[in-house]
Amino acid sequence: MQGLTTAAGLSLAGCQNLLRKTPTAHVVVVGAGFGGATAAKTIRLLDAGIRVTLIEPKSHYTTCPASNWLFAGLTSLDKLTLDIRDLHGRYGVERMAATVAEIEPARRRLRLTDGQSVCYDRLILSPGIAFRWDAMAGYDQAAAESFPHAWQAGPGTLLLMRQLQTMPDGGVVIIAAPPDPYRCPPGPYERASMMAHWLKQYKPRSKILILDPKRSFSKQSLFEAGWTRHYGYGTANSLIEWHCLADNPITQFEQGNKTLISEFGDRFSGHVLNIIPPQTAAALALENGLTDKSGWCPVKPQTSQSVFDEFIHVIGDAAHFAPIPKSAFAANSEAKSCALAVVSLINGYEPTEPAWLNTCYSLIAPWHGVSVAGVYTLDDARAIVAVKGAGGISSSSSAENVALEADYARAAYRTLIGNTFA
């Protein structure tokens, strides 16, 4: 096991059935997104002697990555929806269509909402995010039915798209961005870009206001250069305006007149409101005592073990892996690292030294892509640090470069889907 490569460079084909003769153990994985599906699949590839059960109530998974492309007419929800049942036939992952009601750590057992119980030797949680509905007066789950955040791809994404398409030319779209940390840091700005591309063609007198509680955002220089090139950013006729409200955050929403109100009383009204709430780890993690005051799950990075329970591992958006951003690519990388650690611990080996990758592509226009990449490792204090000189942001210096980045964005999405679910 000491000779295994790190998660960042893991070749799954080369590791298949590496530890076939190991004793049987039972690993339960909760959540079939980029973290959970990757972890379940990878453990089976590393050690076919380990029984893996994947608990996920849904048979299909709709990806948040690429869901912003709907607003520019570049994809459809059907194309973003995958059948996760294939993991059983291909890798022998047992799947339970169920929802976890409670974790019983002392018994290493899960109690399900249908009355069943499932025992585990090790538990991997990849439950995703939840929203803080108490953060803005007037915006709660009921309000989100009419004013969708669309931060979990699905019907809300389609509703937001229809609202954009049916508003008058000259209308105003407001995107209320969330504070850090949250799922997909460049997401609000790619969304604004994709909406602007559509509006430029069909409703060119319209405007998108991004109201941001942050002083800066991911890939800001690249987005602003792209907005200047395509959407008149910085001029009176710009399709996109970015407003930093770090000292005057939005605190209230009035549904009746579609108005957001700031702490100092400034009012912002629009025809379409996309309010993306502050986020925490999913309820399963919160309600079972796996989060700290931040609302996220602290873990030991080398093994992804919860600091509160050595037999529970947490990966993906719910876990605190800072400075690694909360992205699908990062969840996939964390899942491989976690799978290596779990297989090592079950077989009595010292877990290997992990490394993680993150790459995040965004489209500003269909032919204009930008990206950020990072490589991460552990320092002497066992904290995650970015590897100096590795990664960085893409160049926006030429039309050829940004066109290549747009192609890479589509290829990266297809590759991530294949690596996780195929």
pLDDT digits (tens, 9 = 90+) for 129-156: 999 999 999 999 999 999 999 999 999 9
Token couple for 23: 């004793």
pLDDT confidence of residue 397: 75
Closest CA to 78 of 145, 149, 157: 157
pLDDT confidence of residue 416: 96
Segment (H or E) for 330: helix 328-347
Bridge partners of 94, per DSSP, are: 53
Q: Is the pLDDT of residue 75 over 60?
A: yes
pTM for the model stands at 0.92
Contact yes or no for 243/211 (Cβ under 8 A): yes
Chain segment 365-396, per-residue pLDDT in tens? 999 999 999 999 999 999 999 999 998 999 87
Left, alpha or beta for 415 (phi > 0: left; psi -120 to 50: alpha)? alpha
What does the DSSP assignment read for 215-270? S--TTHHHHHHHHHHHH-TTSTT-SEEEEE-TTS-EEEEETTTTEEEETT--EEE-
Chain segment 252-262, per-residue pLDDT in tens? 999 999 999 99
Closest CA to 27 of 115, 92, 83, 86: 92
Contact yes or no for 346/22 (Cβ under 8 A): yes
pLDDT confidence of residue 84: 86
Chain segment 218-233, per-residue pLDDT in tens? 999 999 999 999 999 9
pLDDT confidence of residue 88: 78
Closest CA to 161 of 261, 274, 85: 274
Chain segment 32-67, per-residue pLDDT in tens? 999 999 999 999 999 999 999 999 999 999 999 999
DSSP E strand boundaries for 72-132 = 81-83, 94-96, 100-104, 109-112, 117-119, 122-125, 129-131
Distances (CA, A) of 303 to 207, 313, 351, 378: 46, 7, 7, 12
- The count of other CB atoms within 10 Å of the CB of residue 419 is 18
Q: What is the rounded average pLDDT of the residues 1-27?
A: 49
State how far the Cα of 70 lies from the Cα of 197, in Å rounded to an integer. 11
Distances (CA, A) of 166 to 123, 162, 170, 181, 283: 46, 6, 12, 32, 35
User: Which 8-state DSSP code applies to residue 391?
Assistant: -
Contact yes or no for 124/29 (Cβ under 8 A): yes
Chain segment 266-306, per-residue pLDDT in tens? 999 999 999 999 999 999 999 999 999 999 999 999 999 99
State how far the Cα of 81 lies from the Cα of 75, in Å rounded to an integer. 11
